[in-house]
Amino acid sequence: MKTIGLLGGMSWESTVTYYRAINEGVKQALGGLHSAKIAMYSVDFEPIEKLQHAGNWDAMANILSEAALGVQAAGADFLLICTNTMHKVAPQVEAAIDIPLLHIGDAIATTLLQQNIQTVGLLGTAFTMEQDFYSDRLRDNHGLNVLIPNHHDRKIVHQVIYQELCLGKIEAQSKADYLRIINELAKRGAEGIILGCTEIGLLIQQTDTEVKLFDSTVIHAAKAVEYALPQIAID
């Protein structure tokens, strides 16, 4: 079994989901009392959130690169950045370490293509939805057509993430807003929706809508299990 490196804390609520999902996946694959071998560095999200909204991505790249080196030094065989938005600095982090980076966008794209999804809606922070580091990777590397909500709805999605979900708050009105936005994307041709922020799965589940949902946290964690157990066929 390979040791999985997790760079978490962005936010810690979603990192908990990663930890649980990875361990459950290993237990399902191997049985008995097996659990995952994990090396994790959990950052303080408050200063990172301030740097995000100040647009200081170089400073964030330095913080995450140093943390990634710590994960590598702890014995990790490969690394996951447990957040979608911070994959904006994935190239800098990848350049700083000697172990592979399992990119969340590639994990999601593989799952979408396996299910013959070509046009997908994307929900996430404003950075993830509006900047090109995420959607361009899906388009250019995997041939996917990516739709995002309109400006007003992007503001709603972003605010709910930072003002509620990252603080562990689950609000009924926000859930209703997200479901409306999901339906609007489906009307525009989205065959499925990427929950492209690792906290969104705390608010919206597949049982809430008939539109196919692709939870980035669950998919990323499952790919980590596959990578850690290359000799095991994961269903």
Pick the closest to residue 26 from 42, 44, 8, 38 (CA basis): 38
User: Could you give the angle at the alpha carbon of 91 between the alpha carbons of 36 and 75, nearest 5°?
Assistant: 30
Q: Are strands 38-42 and 4-8 parallel, antiparallel or unpaired?
A: parallel
Say which of 17, 197, 198, 217 is annotated catalytic. Answer: 197
Rounded mean pLDDT, 177-195:
97
The yes-or-no answer on residue 207 being catalytic is: no
- Alpha-carbon distance 229 to 1, whole Å? 6
Query: Tens digits of per-residue pLDDT, 106-132?
Result: 999 999 999 999 999 999 999 999 999
**Of 201, 9, 233, 15, nearest to 108 (Cα)?**
201
Q: Note whether 19 and 38 are within 8 A (CB).
A: yes
Is 150 exposed, middle or buried (CB count within 10 Å of its CB: 0-12, 13-18, 19+)? exposed
Mean pLDDT of 144-169: 94
Query: 20-78, pLDDT tens digit by residue?
Result: 999 999 999 999 999 999 999 999 999 998 999 899 999 999 999 999 999 999 999 99
Question: Measuring CA to CA, which residue among 149, 84, 141, 142 is closest to residue 122?
Answer: 149
**11 band by pLDDT with thresholds 50, 70 and 90:** confident
Fold classification of 4-103+219-228 (topology level): Rossmann fold (3.40.50)
- Whole-model pTM: value is 0.89
> CA distances (Å), 152 to each of 43, 155, 181, 193, in order?
31, 5, 10, 18
Q: Which two tokens stand for residue 63?
A: 């913080």
- The SS3 of residue 132 is helix
* Distance from C-alpha of 164 to C-alpha of 194, rounded to nearest angstrom: 19
Instruction: Give first-to-last CA distance, the chain, whole Å.
Output: 18
Q: Is the per-residue pLDDT at 235 higher than 90?
A: no
SS3 (DSSP) at 160: helix
What is the per-residue pLDDT across 27-36, written as a single tens digit (0 to 9) for each? 999 999 999 9
- Whether residue 233 is predicted with pLDDT greater than 60 in this model: the reply is no
Q: Is 15 a catalytic residue?
A: no
Amino acid identity for residue 47 in this structure? P
Q: Given a cut of 80, is residue 232 above it in pLDDT?
A: no
Q: Which of 83, 111, 125, 198 is catalytic?
A: 83
pLDDT at residue 234 in the model? 46
Average pLDDT, the chain: 94
| CA 197/CA 131 separation, integer angstroms | 14
Q: Could you give the residue range(s) of every CATH 3.40.50.1860 domain in the chain? A: 4-103+219-228, 105-216
Q: Which CATH class is domain 105-216?
A: alpha beta
